Structure 1
Amino acid sequence: MTMSSGNGISFYMPRYDFTVRARWLERNARLIGVLKAAVPTQAIFSHVVVSGQTVGAVTRIRYDGPGVMVPRVFGSVFFYQPSQKINLCYGEITESATVNQFAEVIQEDLDALRDLGSKVWADTVANPVRHVVQVNIQEW
């Protein structure tokens, strides 16, 4: 399956007023088809606490197909099926589990990705006053 429309997926956070974009990876075309059919959508970002520097958007997206499992790296965008989350890895990884990667943050948005991760960490985990971090997810 060739990716015919759209370069990838984007994440816009009104609270921070910036966007992080990720390019589709054709090797995971089946999952990408499900995601394309489900966007645009809105979700809430949270921060993982066990597996390293990763933020995730809990969605209503269901995907029960096969995964294209690869090692997680900085800039990976992957779908975690058990909790229906779209995750973005913005830094250090503290576990070796493979992930169902479907996109990769583009080079020019890597600094914004780091900023997103640190802001979500501060707003949802570190600070005593928590904030809701809404994200608008769409194809770009």
Structure 2
Amino acid sequence: MIEVIRSALPTRCLYSHVVVSGQTIGAVTRIRYDGPGVMVPRVFGSVFFYQPSQKINLCYGEITESATVNQFAEVIAEDLDALRDLGSGVWADTVVNPVRHVVEVGIQEW
């Protein structure tokens, strides 16, 4: 799966916020992957691919659902505060008071 995602980068995405499973934002992509996943419990900083909606999701805080996720990466420790800020901003601008922003995010190997 990681090779499929890597081959699609860099990409520009529309971010959304989940409303059921806690503090998680999703980048809607054109990536299509139907192979096996690495299903693990989600935690703060998890980066996973949600196949049904073709999203790269990032957990930026509290998790309210126990379902496992198809994790392929994690946010590095020094970027967790920035992730929390990004998630809060996406929540505010997509759920609380919807507005449109273009935000550039670099995704790279660590």
TM over 0.5: yes
For structure 1, the residue ranges without an aligned partner over 5 or more in a row are: 1-30
The answer as to whether partners of 1:44 and 1:134 remain within 8 angstroms in 2 is no
Measure the CA separation in 2 of the matches of 1:133 and 1:126. Answer: 18
Measure the CA separation in 2 of the matches of 1:133 and 1:95. Answer: 29
Tell me the equivalent position of 2:99.
Answer: 130
For structure 2, the residue ranges without an aligned partner over 5 or more in a row are: none
Q: How many residues align?
A: 109
Amino acid at match of 1:38: A
TM-score (normalised: structure 2)? 0.92
Amino acid at match of 1:55: I
Measure the CA separation in 2 of the matches of 1:138 and 1:40. Answer: 7
Amino acid at match of 1:113: L
Secondary structure (helix, strand or coil) at the match of 1:117 reads helix
The answer as to whether partners of 1:53 and 1:93 remain within 8 angstroms in 2 is yes
The structure where strand makes up a greater share of residues is 1
**Post-superposition shift, 1:138?**
4.0
Q: Does structure 1 residue 103 correspond to structure 2 residue 76?
A: no
What's the RMSD between the two structures over aligned residues? Answer: 1.4
Q: Does structure 1 residue 41 correspond to structure 2 residue 11?
A: yes
Measure the CA separation in 1 of the matches of 2:30 and 2:7. Answer: 12
Tell me the equivalent position of 1:139.
Answer: 108
Amino acid at match of 2:80: L
Higher relative contact order (CA closer than 8 Å, sequence separation 6+): 1
Taking the TM superposition and a 5 Å limit, the aligned residue runs for 1:1-140 are: 31-127=1-97, 129-136=98-105, 138-140=107-109
